[in-house]
Amino acid sequence: MTRNFLWSILRFFMWLLVGLLFFLLGFWVYFHFATKLEEPIIDSSRFENFDRIELNDSTFVFKESFLRKNSHGIWEMYLKGNAVEIGYSHGILSKELMQFQEKAFVSQIQKMIPNPEYLKFLKYVTAWMNRDLDEYIAIEYQQEIKAVSLFADSQFSFIGNNYERQLNYHAAHDIGHAMQNLNLVACTAFSVWDSLSADSTLLIGRNFDFYVGDDFAKNKIIMFVEPDQGYQFVSIAWAGMSGVVSGMNNQGLSVTLNAAKSKIPFSAKTPVSIIAREIVQYASTIEQAYAIAKSRRSFVAESFFIGSANENQTAIIEKTPDTTILLRAEKEAKQILTNHFQSNALFFEDLNQENLNENATGLRFKRVQELMDCNIAFDPDRFVSILRNPFGRGEQSIGIGNEEAVNQYVAHHSLVLQPEKLKLWMSSPPFQLGDFISYSLKEIFNNPQILFDESRANSQMIQKDRSQLNSTYLFFSTFRNLKLEIERAVQSKQKLSQQKINDFIEANPNYFFTWELLGDYYQALDEFESAKTAFARALEMNIPNQFEREKIEGKFKNCSIEAL
């Protein structure tokens, strides 16, 4: 009886195990097919008879398209054709840059998430979230991305095949926006027109503060695109990026992206950079841009800063996964946009109020207001001076890199746009401190070869900020180098010379993080009184968001207990 009972129990668990194995196998098969993105069918065979011509190590030509690096370190690309031809030309011209870009992106993700098992888990979570991504992207852009992906690096196939990775990277921008507490995104945009503009035409300034490591920002590309459908346009981004984060078309319609606070998304819709791409390729008025934005579903909250030469003004399209609002200027001939919603419909939403109370967006908005409230008419030079300003309200020194400042020393690129004149100025490294290079869309699309004549652009460029380059930037470089050294010392509990500590403080004495990191350093050495003093000093500084303040307060309390 007992033996039969035990055998029954054993048989039950055996069948349970077999059932579990079949379930796991079935789930794996379902997961594999459910997350497999359907690739568009493209015919690239007609391009395979053409070779990429390498004129030198920084100038490449393919058919009518080309890529070159100018003397300021900016890559300039001209692309022409249908979706497949544009994508194929983009990929073959920039394949080395694209591979470098992907390596930089993956390395930064691995740095942020050092646990390989957790990273593997997130890979599957992301695959599940993005399982329907292709259904929300127009076939035109799927084909372009597929053609680009032909030249992606197979060494990253552990993440997914080339097409899946390139498609998913367009959604990575949105996921970065949703993770604002990681300080990946904190953009600023502003505009004037009529009496506030020196020549009465629309003027737009924009900092794109999207930071995923220094290497990711090394190879900026300004792309001049002549598609067979829609309008010619310019886009400032990086190799492999078909979406738009900053762009303007030959109708004088511009679009730039600013993140708003989002809930963590659980399923993909249309990436905001793809929505912006559609706007810049197919809209010539604010209403047309709004109609496109409204017709697409996004999976994060985003603001689209739209400039229109036809209407000589800007407007803000505020978009959430559920709502799309058009916000026009009511009284003054200007608009400001940071990282929160301003419309009556969305301003009082809990998530937006939480964002204003906890993050730097409201403080930076007030700072831009202060810089623009000066009873003068603005020109491109004055806009560049605002984009470069590293100070807090009242011109207070709040530490180099503080999120309250317009210039946080993290900008991927910075722009000034004149839509009516079809002109723009783009920053050159470092950050927005180098020369702002002038580009005329009208001249370039009339004759793309004009890009090879740098004397034209140099004669109209806005000069580098020599004052900051010779002072603030040098201090910031010292600060960043010593920061890495101190972070390593915290990990290894290694004591550094007092001279290095003094140099670190001197490089950025008014930045809260300087003192927070020193607190971490002393705490790692069990020097709790010194740590407590450093954390207390950090709390006296301008801390731009509530998350950081609460974190430092917690460290201070812990040190106070340990010091007893």
CB atoms within 10 A of CB 443: 16
3-state SS, residue 308: strand
Supply 159's token pair.
Answer: 């993440």
Contact 519, 531 (CB under 8 A): yes
Percent of the chain predicted with pLDDT > 70:
88
The reply to whether 126 and 243 lie within a common domain is: yes
Q: Is residue 3 one of the residues assigned to a domain?
A: no
Q: How far is CA 214 from each of CA 99, 210, 489, 511, rounded to the nearest angstrom?
A: 15, 11, 22, 20
Q: Is residue 6 one of the residues assigned to a domain?
A: no
Q: Is residue 128 one of the residues assigned to a domain?
A: yes
The reply to whether 503 and 403 lie within a common domain is: no
Quote the pLDDT of residue 403.
Answer: 95
The reply to whether 446 and 513 lie within a common domain is: no
pLDDT in tens, 358-404: 999 999 999 999 999 987 899 999 999 999 999 999 999 999 999 99
Quote the pLDDT of residue 30.
Answer: 41
Q: Is residue 52 one of the residues assigned to a domain?
A: no
Q: Give the confidence band of 93 by pLDDT, cuts at 50, 70, 90.
A: very high
For residues 75 and 94, what is the distance between their CA atoms, to the nearest angstrom?
A: 10
Quote the pLDDT of residue 398.
Answer: 98
Whether the per-residue pLDDT at 512 is higher than 90: the answer is yes
pLDDT in tens, 407-430: 999 999 999 999 999 999 999 999
The reply to whether 212 and 76 lie within a common domain is: yes
Whether the per-residue pLDDT at 283 is higher than 90: the answer is yes
Q: Which of 295, 271, 273, 292 is nearest to 282 (CA)?
A: 292
Q: Is residue 164 one of the residues assigned to a domain?
A: yes
3-state secondary structure 40-97: CCCCCHHHCCCCCEEEECCEEEECCEEEEECCCCCEEEEEEECHHHHHHHHHHHCHHH
Q: Is residue 165 one of the residues assigned to a domain?
A: yes
- Helix then strand then coil, in percent of the chain rounded to 5, is 50, 15, 35
Residue 539: exposed, middle, or buried by beta-carbon count in 10 A (0-12, 13-18, 19+)? middle
Per the structure, the complete domain to which residue 488 belongs is given by 472-562
Q: Which of 408, 406, 392 is nearest to 542 (CA)?
A: 392
DSSP symbol at 427: E
Whether the per-residue pLDDT at 29 is higher than 50: the answer is no
Beta strands in 219-301 (DSSP E): 221-227, 233-237, 246-249, 253-259
Quote the pLDDT of residue 132.
Answer: 75
Whether the per-residue pLDDT at 34 is higher than 90: the answer is no
Contact 416, 528 (CB under 8 A): no
- Residue 236 φ then ψ, to 5°: -110, 115
The reply to whether 423 and 478 lie within a common domain is: no
Q: Give me the sheet containing 221-227, strands edge to edge.
A: 53-56, 59-62, 65-69, 75-81, 221-227, 233-237, 246-249, 253-259, 302-308, 313-319, 324-328
Q: Give the confidence band of 180 by pLDDT, cuts at 50, 70, 90.
A: very low
Least confident of 69-83, 265-279, 300-314, 512-526: 265-279
The reply to whether 457 and 486 lie within a common domain is: no
Q: Give the confidence band of 268 by pLDDT, cuts at 50, 70, 90.
A: confident
Q: Is residue 8 one of the residues assigned to a domain?
A: no
Residue 106: exposed, middle, or buried by beta-carbon count in 10 A (0-12, 13-18, 19+)? middle
Q: Which amino acid is at 444?
A: I
Least confident of 205-209, 229-233, 325-329, 355-359: 355-359
CB atoms within 10 A of CB 450: 15
Residue scoring higher pLDDT (500 or 261): 500
Residue scoring higher pLDDT (290 or 103): 290
- Residue 70 φ then ψ, to 5°: -85, 175
Q: Give the confidence band of 156 by pLDDT, cuts at 50, 70, 90.
A: confident
Quote the pLDDT of residue 213.
Answer: 82
Quote the pLDDT of residue 458.
Answer: 79
The reply to whether 207 and 268 lie within a common domain is: yes
* pTM of the predicted structure, to 2 decimals: 0.91
- Give the number of C-alpha atoms closer than 13 A to the C-alpha of residue 318, restricted to the C-beta side: 21
Tally of residues, the chain: 564
Contact 467, 476 (CB under 8 A): no
Quote the pLDDT of residue 119.
Answer: 64
Structural domains counted in the chain: 2
Of the three residues 430, 464, 498, the one that is the final residue of a domain is 464
The reply to whether 172 and 218 lie within a common domain is: yes
Whether the per-residue pLDDT at 177 is higher than 60: the answer is no
Mean pLDDT estimate for the chain = 90
The reply to whether 451 and 500 lie within a common domain is: no
The reply to whether 269 and 171 lie within a common domain is: yes
pLDDT in tens, 19-28: 555 554 454 4
Q: What is the mean pLDDT of residues 540-560?
A: 93
Quote the pLDDT of residue 276.
Answer: 98
Per-range mean pLDDT, top range of 10-19, 44-53, 500-509 = 500-509
Q: What is the mean pLDDT of residues 147-174?
A: 85
For residues 410 and 482, what is the distance between their CA atoms, to the nearest angstrom?
A: 17
Q: Is residue 209 one of the residues assigned to a domain?
A: yes
Q: What is the mean pLDDT of residues 290-305?
A: 95
Q: Which of 51, 434, 427, 80 is nearest to 223 (CA)?
A: 80
Of the three residues 448, 464, 480, the one that is the final residue of a domain is 464
Q: Give the confidence band of 181 by pLDDT, cuts at 50, 70, 90.
A: very low
Domain at 526, CATH number: 1.25.40.10
Q: Give the confidence band of 264 by pLDDT, cuts at 50, 70, 90.
A: confident
For residues 207 and 187, what is the distance between their CA atoms, to the nearest angstrom?
A: 6
The reply to whether 405 and 540 lie within a common domain is: no
Domain at 182, CATH number: 3.60.60.10
Q: How far is CA 197 from each of CA 2, 115, 192, 327, rounded to the nearest angstrom?
A: 94, 52, 6, 21
Of the three residues 401, 430, 464, the one that is the final residue of a domain is 464
Contact 363, 357 (CB under 8 A): no
Q: Give the confidence band of 455 by pLDDT, cuts at 50, 70, 90.
A: confident
Q: Which of 422, 460, 465, 417 is nearest to 440 (CA)?
A: 422
The reply to whether 492 and 417 lie within a common domain is: no
Contact 243, 296 (CB under 8 A): no
